[in-house]
Amino acid sequence: MFSSIPKLQTFALTSIAVALLTACGGGGGGGGSSASSVLSGMVIDGYIEGAKVCLDVNSNGVCDAGEPTATTDSAGKYQLSPGSIDTTGLNVIAEISDSAKDSDDGGLTLLAAGKSAYTMASPASESAVVTPITTLIVGKVKTDNLSTATAKARVLEELGLPSDTNPYADHVAAGNTMVHGAARQLAAQLQQAQKDLPVGTTPQERLTKLHDAIKAMQDAAGSIALESQDANPLNMPLTLSSVATGRLFAYKMPSAMGKQINASAMLFTPKSVMPPGGWPLVVFGHGTVGVAKDCAPSVTMKATGNWGYAGVVAQLISQGYVVVAPDYEGLGSTAMGVDAGHPYLDLGSAGRSMALAAVGAKKLMTTQLSGAWATLGHSQGGHAALAGAQFAGLAKKQEASLTYKGAVAIAPASNLKASLNAMWSGIQTNSQNPVNYTTGYEAVGISNFYAAYVVKGTQSTPSSVTPSTVFGPRMLAVYNAKVASECFTEFSTSISNDVGTYAVTNGATPAAYTGVINSAINTTYIAGVLNSNEPGQMKLPGNTLLVQGAADTTVLPSSTQTLLTTMQSKGSQVTLSLHSGNTATHGGVLGIPAAQTAITNHLIAIFANEPKEKKTLFSSGFVFD
């Protein structure tokens, strides 16, 4: 997939991360047990100005006349005076109209920012913050009849957050980009759910129906929406069809924007005899294909009979694994009910796509799968493999028989901000001498290519980045004309052509190409978006193997080394398999025998107790093209 395309494409957008948040410390504060003289705190997604806040004395989920009420200031702060009211078991309610302002939106009202009204809540005993996360906790207490402590644990698990995260702390002030990212996506879900409430819903019914709607969406996650009845749903190449049967299905998942959507996945089952107890499952994450719906592997393989990762998946099948390969959110066919909008390198979206694909596969195959599963992916898929590990708890909640074992992340996208800064430094250096212009222009093309997919991807999330703030006139024109419709090879060629046209103009230098504006990448907002999607920012379950080629110019070896150090600092069980030589490139590392052996041994180790034949993975080798 990568070896046959222009050199431009060998920089992997490895990073963006959207790691939705490291554990937050600090206490809850502010609350009230029985009679309290004052309840104070903040309403936060970003800080919400103009929210109506009240103590819900009659527990009907709305701010009624006569209840202690306040309006939040520009810092999202409120203060209530309950007087002699016993606050035990009561909630604080925040009614946020579309005229309120969220500090995430730069002073715009919700309406001007394309958002809508919603309601949030927090236990009065934990009134220091009212956030989308505390709202979900309150909802689970009500809809699932859970204790607050159990509801909190369930919510953190579903959001892919560390178990020691304090949801009652100010995540904005603490700089917890993981929590902030999770809160943004959950706020979008609350807004969407409120917009979708039945006509005639009264204010007193609103919060209860919001909780019920979100519970219904969560309960449906991973369920089968439909399965293709096409006689040849995948049009597999011989490499795959000789060892596996293939199916195409769609499963339900919450989108990054809070809607319930269909996501499609390919399911490959060995033609060999099923072992006692069923096959183990590998969830495979593909590399960058583009952001247009029809760039999905299931769509392109159906149309062409080819897939660059067919050899990798065939070898996994030959090893005795069932493989499910999600297209990811927003990639797939209309026939499978997939809507456009791919949140490229969004950690939450990628994690749910992977984890819920495992749930869907188990629901389809039932006892044919043992329940043991792992994630494996390359480039964008390496990022997805780590994100899937982060959401393994969600998979377990939706399908109790699933047991997560570990991950293989090959050249995983990570540390994008640092990579873009390093590339810009190199572009400047290579602009000093015409002898080095070619190298400089290659970096220009690579950085603009991946930055374009990242920026376009944010348009399908609550953390949208404005393209004109990131790109100068030349690249902005290419972006506007091509990014939404062209897949990997075509889009990289479009950028290469524009950079090439510019390069032959009088006085041109790589640094003067009006593409990525490096200073924009380092602004607080954009840096926060990138950092919130970084993988490995919490202790991951299972055992993880990172595989990296030293000659990789797409996902830089330094980025993976930083990822390793970060994961170790969080307590994850992780090792790095680093490979040198001219062939240890972004795609080439997959063909290195030592790398193949490392992957083989890791999978055998994590599935050690599974009843399956142990053969040598990649024993016949494969070509990654």
**Are 547 and 411 in a shared domain?**
yes
Instruction: Return the residue matching tokens 């953190």.
Output: 156
Q: What is the mean pLDDT of residues 366-381?
A: 98
Average pLDDT over all residues of the chain:
90
**Are 409 and 264 in a shared domain?**
yes
Model confidence over 238-270: pLDDT tens digits? 999 999 999 999 999 999 998 999 999 999 999
In sequence order, what are the beta bridge partners of 406?
Answer: 374, 543
Residues with Cβ within 8 Å of residue 346, at least 6 apart in sequence:
18, 256, 329, 457, 458, 460, 461, 533
Q: Which two tokens stand for residue 169?
A: 């702390």
Say if 52 falls within a structural domain.
yes
CA–CA dist 492, 477 (Å, integer): 14
Q: Is 314 helix (H, G, I), strand (E, B) or coil?
A: helix
Nearest by Cα to 322 from 236, 229, 247, 237: 247
Say if 227 falls within a structural domain.
no
CB 329 within 8 A of CB 261: yes
Say if 215 falls within a structural domain.
no
Nearest by Cα to 488 from 307, 248, 237: 307
- Kindly tell me the burial class for residue 37, based on how many C-beta atoms sit within 10 Å of its own C-beta (0-12, 13-18, 19 or more): exposed
Q: Is 353 helix (H, G, I), strand (E, B) or coil?
A: helix
Model confidence over 165-181: pLDDT tens digits? 999 999 999 989 889 98
CA–CA dist 137, 153 (Å, integer): 9
Q: Which of 165, 195, 225 is the last residue of a domain?
A: 195
Confidence tier at 619 by pLDDT (50, 70, 90): very low
**Are 246 and 159 in a shared domain?**
no
**Are 407 and 427 in a shared domain?**
no
Say if 431 falls within a structural domain.
yes
**Are 519 and 597 in a shared domain?**
no
pLDDT exceeds cutoff 70 at 33? no
Model confidence over 503-561: pLDDT tens digits? 999 999 999 999 999 999 999 999 999 999 999 999 999 999 999 999 998 898 999 99
Say if 209 falls within a structural domain.
no
Confidence tier at 36 by pLDDT (50, 70, 90): low
Structural domains counted in the chain: 3
pLDDT exceeds cutoff 70 at 193? yes
Confidence tier at 200 by pLDDT (50, 70, 90): confident
Task: Sheet containing 69-71: give its strands across.
Answer: 69-71, 52-55, 91-96, 118-123
**Are 422 and 515 in a shared domain?**
yes
**Are 453 and 479 in a shared domain?**
yes
User: Which residues form the domain of 421?
Assistant: 416-531
Per-residue pLDDT at 624: 37
Amino acid 477 reads A
Q: Is 202 helix (H, G, I), strand (E, B) or coil?
A: coil
Nearest by Cα to 259 from 180, 349, 172, 170: 349
Say if 28 falls within a structural domain.
no
Residues in the chain: 625
CATH code, 312 = 3.40.50.1820
Instruction: Return the residue matching tokens 């159990």.
Output: 150
Q: In terms of DSSP H, where are the helices of 221-296?
A: 238-241
Say if 210 falls within a structural domain.
no
pLDDT exceeds cutoff 70 at 391? yes
**Are 322 and 339 in a shared domain?**
yes
Per-residue pLDDT at 402: 98
Q: How many CB atoms lie within 10 A of CB 290?
A: 24
**Are 189 and 71 in a shared domain?**
yes
**Are 176 and 282 in a shared domain?**
no
Per-residue pLDDT at 34: 46
Nearest by Cα to 404 from 580, 572, 224: 572
Q: What is the mean pLDDT of residues 60-84?
A: 94
pLDDT exceeds cutoff 80 at 5? no
**Are 130 and 69 in a shared domain?**
yes
- Kindly tell me the burial class for residue 304, based on how many C-beta atoms sit within 10 Å of its own C-beta (0-12, 13-18, 19 or more): exposed
Backbone angles phi, psi at 348, to 5 degrees: -65, -45
**Are 262 and 393 in a shared domain?**
yes
Say if 149 falls within a structural domain.
yes
Q: Which of 531, 565, 597 is the last residue of a domain?
A: 531
Q: Which of 487, 502, 531 is the last residue of a domain?
A: 531
CB 475 within 8 A of CB 36: no
